[in-house]
A and B are shown apart, each in its own frame.
Chain A
Amino acid sequence: MLAKLFLASLRANLGRTVLALAGIALGVALGLAVHVINQSAIGEMQQAARTLSGDADLSIRAGRVNASGFDENLLEIVAANERVQMASPVIEADAAYRKDVPNTSTGAALQPMQGRQTIKFIGVDIFRAALLQPGFAGEMYPSDDRFAMLRGDHVLLNQAARAVIGGGGADENTPRKFSVTVGGASHSLTVAGKAELAGYAGPLAIIDIAGAQTLFNQLGQVSRIDIRLIPGTNSADVARALASQLPAGVTASTPEQADKQSAAVSRAYRINLTVLSLVALFTGGFLVFSTQSLSVLRRRAQFALYRTLGVTRGELMRALIAEGAVLGCIGGIIGTALGLWLATFALAKFGGDLGSGFFAGTAPVAQWTWPTLAFFTSLGIAAGVAGAAIPARAAVNEAPARAIKASDGEGATSALPPTWTGFALIVLSGVLLLLPAFDDIPWLAYLAIAALLLGVLALSPIASTRIIAIIPKPKNFIAQLSLNHIEKSPGPSAAGITGVVASFSLMIAMLIMVVSFRSSLEQWLIGVLNQDLYVRQGNGGSGGGDSNALNTSTGAALQALAGVAQADFLRYRSIVLDSTKPEQPPVTLITRPLRENVLQSLSVLKRAAADTNRDKLPDIWISEAVADLYGYTPGQTISLPLDGTTHPVFVAGIWRDYARSFGAMVIDREVYLKWTADDKINDVSLKLSTDANKANVIAAVRNLPIEAKLDIADAAEIRKFSLQAFDRSFAVTYALEIAAIFVGLAGISATFSAQAWSRRREFGMLRHLGVSRREIATLLGAEGALLGALGAGIGLLLGMAIALILIFVVNRESFHWSMELHIPWVTMAVLSVALVVLTSISAVLSGKFAMSKQVIAAVKEDA
């Protein structure tokens, strides 16, 4: 019986019900969409990696996949292990496809990645590899040459690769020869056949491993050894046994561990984004709170009647909570369907990258599981229940005798929690902030933000009352009426603005964080890019891929150009600092000549004091991330594992690095060359002499008699490009915040439409007294503006507090970098004004009923 009555009530206020449903649906949809997009992107990445390793039980790698390799002689040691059934060495490297057309050297200095096509090359010993990944054997085109597969310049291409070189249709249409550029030189390759690997969608070329070693200049090295163990062997045991034989920096990991490692790189980003996407849902919960508060207030007399008739407190409570659950459930289901559609659409249209660049170039299919859907639907239910809980409790605690006679809102038990709850939550928030990150993700910081938000919201009615009491009484009667109304009945008003405060404060917080981040990033870029021109091989990314490296002769040629005062050579390597943690992504080692100007370009935050060790050992400068993750401090002596040997170095200082959240370290190039024979160059930075003409130098670089297409950019262009990438990566967050604001505004709207109804007699009386329709509209607008101003004020303060948490705790613990606080006062002021205007308009539009004719008749109604 209760159920029917309650459902009838939901239907009766269809508008508000739909609004609450929409709020929850939107929240769930956004959260699910972001989650699915990220999961699909990660899933495809991991699947691609697994496909290349085939049926391997273990894989031995040094550093990140696609980074520098390790000694090929390890193959013999590994294969000799009696539990190893097959060990397959692999070289994995990218080469740029080069169309055989004459190279025109006109155009802008900066040539970003567009137009460049990379093909991933997998060099294998087919006799070993075919056992793990039969797809590598492929299908040869008919030919008289039976050794085609073994020749070092013959490849098998998959469909995507064939499309790159201009094939893709029938076999006859695929060109049989094409060229790629590697390390500054062009190489001609023959297409001997095709190979398709289900699960790998990008352009792929299979080549003999000897050919790969020659082509990519990796003689003596392999990128990876994939291992198949004798059936029944425990992978972890073998991994441990092998570990003792592997040199420093080289680890054996299972596919699951490799998955984790590839996911680890983007993990912090993905989790932060998902949490952010749940802001809309969080606000949706407040929307339910608003609408439920209002509806409960309206039905006070009804509930009192039920109680008098014998319905118990518990039954009433359960029924009200169930109302919230039903709202949450329906909203959740709609949201889940909407979210899936949104994710599928976004993946198809924009690929798997939401702006971070981690997943650029992927076009995954939406991957989701039923448990994921169930989880997000249940989040919707949780939001509904949470929103309904407090009003339910208030309704249930009413004394029936009083309530049955009272008019709406008169003397109602406050639906808001007592003051001490608010303070307690704020204290809790402080405590949570002191606790460290768990599993490298600042879960507790998120909880702290939520607690702070809830605490401040709980205190907002009292705060509103106190604030208004301070305001001097205005002369204008409309202003006075609106102030008085909010001062004296803060309950319903506060319920209305919770959504707005929540979403606005989070928006302000994100704004401050993004602005701080951006300005810190810009400052950092200006410092780091203190040379005039930057040159690298035109094949993209400096992730340590040796196939992108230039040789010293190219470097010398650049240095010798007219107009170049100084040329600095940079080399990047990926190294694993802690081999006991194979899931920890590797650290980037940057080698460059550590001259004074270079040291100046490092944003050094902490320096080591003078120390005797300093003179004996080479200096190493570590980024904040390295200090955070590995606990190194300036003045410490640490061991650097490089190519199987460890070198003691002196930590000279900590510098700020926004490019690599898993750590970077800088050492002098001369020191590096002493340790290794690796004189390859990844980047060259050029300082021009004072009378040099930049355009001339750029032209000279392009006209160098080397095969490679060089990427040249000047500092300003790189800065612009980097900031664009930054803006792109946050674009999604802006969209999410705006969605949340609208959900918040919906709360205002619901509140005012409800109040227009419940205060109808009041408005009727005012009409009788000679207040015109327009004046009533103004009254609503003023109340809306006042609520908006209160919300904005509380939201601003709260937002600033949350921004501090985001900057100094969340960002620090997620990405291990620091930033300078930068508060965009003007933007905040503009946004606050916008909010006040929006809430005012919202109030007037929603309170239309108050200006209708029916309120006049309302004065005759029984109280």
Chain B
Amino acid sequence: MRIAWLFFSFVFTHLALAEPVRFADVTPGHALMFPQDHGAHPAFRTEWWYVTGHVQTSSGTPLGFQVTFFRSRTGVGEDSKSKFAPQQILFAHAAIADPRHGKLRHDEKVARAGFGNHANASTMDIVLNNWTMKMTDAVIATRVASKDFSLDLVLMPTQSPILQGANGYSQKGPSVGQASYYASFAQVNVSGKVMVEGRSETVTGKAWFDHEWSSDIMSTDVSGWDWLGANLDDGGAVMAFRMRATDGRGIWAGGTRVAGDGKVVKLTPDQITFTPIETWRSPRTATQYPVAMRVDVAGETFELKPWMNDQELDSSRSTGITYWEGAVDLLRNKQRVGRGYLELTGYGKKLQF
């Protein structure tokens, strides 16, 4: 469906075509204030609220889940008096990783903001065609209902938000301005209900929560990124990403390591390496994803093992934009030390616009 194509083009375009729209700039030294900054920032081009997690059902089945809400400022209709003007487009994505199923169950929605669909600017309150994500008193509730599955989860952060990069200013490339404001919650407690194929079960587990907004994050030579967000069993967390060029080499990287005692260490680009170990070829799109990776983070090495190979989100055959977003186990010395999600983008066609 062209809808997903739109999403990606909104997210990644920085070639503002003949649109003299001034998007807000991401500047270093800007202090993030909470809980307001948990809400939306409509002046910026792109924004998302992203949660991934690992839960277990009452019968002991492990499940991975992902829910993401996106907001994109199009620059179109800024002068329009119509309430339908498509100034802001909301997009949402949800997926369940169930090893029994062998591949992802996923669904997506898109709508323009207005008439019930909104991303509130003063507090985290997003509604998109009955999919919701709302923060009340530091607890986030999210509801997603789809034909094949539904999620009704309560997310309780156990720690204060991690301000990624320099106090939330997260550089994404060598030039000044290629950056985003980025805050995360690690070690989030999850409880709630998951319904799969008509059966509803209570679940509990741990999740990772990201909130990121920006106006210009990708330079032209970047074809995609690899990103990892994981909760470690000892209470710590790790977030690492690298931006990749078309030839596969990393142009930029960044990350944060939270120790088990809560100490936060910001990582510099040279401290992060992603090394593909195993690739998997999608039977649908023929894309090769390095689903098994080794990640070196300031001297620590984690091996990422996917729950299942096929966690590709092929959201639109017509445009061929696909990416891989999968539940992974973190191993050190063959021992499982944590769980997280690995996101691989730009391995198919270059994220081309």
Contact = CB atoms under 8 A, between A and B. Distances in A.
Interface string A113-155: 0000000000001011010000001000000111100111000
A72 B84 contact: yes
A127 B77 contact: no
Contact of A76 (B15, B18, B89, B115): B115
Contact of B80 (A72, A73, A86, A214): A214
B160 to A, nearest CB: 35
A209 interface: yes
Contacts of B86: 150, 208, 210
B287 interface: no
Given A72-B115, A146-B13, A219 B74 contact: no
Interface in B75-108: 75-77, 80-86, 89
Interface string A207-242: 011110110000110000000000000000000000
Nearest to B1: A130
B76 A146 contact: no
Contacts of A834: none
Interface string A69-106: 00011011001100000100100000000000000000
B111 A127 contact: yes
Contact of B76 (A72, A75, A125, A147): A147
Given A147-B75, A209-B82, 12 more contacts: A79-B115, A79-B129, A127-B3, A137-B2, A145-B17, A147-B74, A151-B77, A210-B80, A211-B82, A213-B84, A219-B83, A220-B83
A146 B84 contact: no
B257 interface: no
Contacts of A127: 3, 89, 110-112
Contacts of B202: none
A786 B74 CA distance: 88
A219 B2 CA distance: 28
Contacts of A128: 111
B167 interface: no
Contacts of B111: 125, 127-128
A219 B84 CA distance: 9
B115 to A, nearest CB: 5
Given A127-B3, A128-B111, A210-B84, A144 B17 contact: yes
10 contacts: A76-B116, A127-B112, A130-B1, A144-B17, A145-B17, A147-B17, A209-B84, A210-B82, A211-B82, A220-B83
A273 to B, nearest CB: 43
A146 B9 contact: yes
Interface of B: 1-3, 6, 9, 13, 15, 17-18, 74-77, 80-86, 89, 110-112, 115-116, 129, 353
Contacts of A86: 129
A104 B287 CA distance: 62
A150 B111 CA distance: 12
Contacts of A209: 82, 84
Contacts, number: 72
Contacts of B77: 150-152, 210
Contacts of B81: 214, 219
A237 B80 CA distance: 37
Contacts of A210: 77, 80, 82-86
Interface size class on chain A is 20 to 34
Interface string A311-349: 000000000000000000000000000000000000000
A112 B84 CA distance: 36
A151 B110 contact: no
Contact of B83 (A72, A79, A151): A72
Given A146-B353, A208-B86, A75 B80 contact: no
Contacts of B15: 144
Nearest to A86: B129
A182 to B, nearest CB: 15
Contacts of B116: 75-76, 79-80
Contacts of A80: 116
Nearest to B116: A76
A214 B17 contact: no
A79 B115 CA distance: 9
B84 A125 contact: yes
A213 B82 contact: yes
Contacts of A73: 115
Contacts of B110: 127
Contacts of A75: 115-116
Given A73-B115, A147-B75, A130 B3 contact: yes
B12 to A, nearest CB: 10
The 8 closest A-B pairs by CB, nearest first: A210-B82, A210-B84, A213-B82, A210-B85, A76-B116, A150-B86, A76-B115, A146-B9
B17 A150 contact: no
Nearest to B91: A127
Nearest to B6: A146
A144 B15 CA distance: 10
Interface string A169-212: 00000000000000000000000000000000000000011110
Contacts of B84: 72, 89, 125, 208-210, 213
Given A151-B76, A213-B84, A125 B112 contact: yes
A530 B81 CA distance: 41
Contacts of A151: 76-77
Contacts of A214: 80-82
Contacts of B76: 147, 150-152
Interface in A1-59: none
A208 B87 CA distance: 12
Nearest to A208: B86
B201 to A, nearest CB: 23
A144 B18 CA distance: 10
A747 to B, nearest CB: 67
A219 B80 CA distance: 10
Contacts of A89: 84, 115
A833 B303 CA distance: 109
Contacts of A211: 82
A211 B1 CA distance: 23
Contacts of A213: 82, 84
Contacts of A137: 2
A151 B19 CA distance: 11
B247 to A, nearest CB: 26
Nearest to A139: B2
Nearest to A74: B115
A781 B64 CA distance: 102
Contacts of A79: 115-116, 129
B176 to A, nearest CB: 26
A152 B3 CA distance: 18
A44 to B, nearest CB: 30
A217 B83 CA distance: 13
Contacts of A146: 6, 9, 13, 17, 353
Contacts of A76: 115-116
A89 B114 CA distance: 12
A130 B2 CA distance: 10
Contacts of B112: 125, 127
A76 B17 CA distance: 32
Contacts of B353: 146
Contacts of A220: 83
A137 B318 CA distance: 13
A60 to B, nearest CB: 14
A146 B76 CA distance: 11
A292 to B, nearest CB: 68
A72 B84 CA distance: 9
Contacts of A150: 74, 76-77, 86
Nearest to B80: A210
A457 B111 CA distance: 72
Contacts of A144: 15, 17
A228 to B, nearest CB: 12
A151 B79 CA distance: 11
Nearest to B75: A147
A558 to B, nearest CB: 28
B119 to A, nearest CB: 15
A79 B131 CA distance: 13
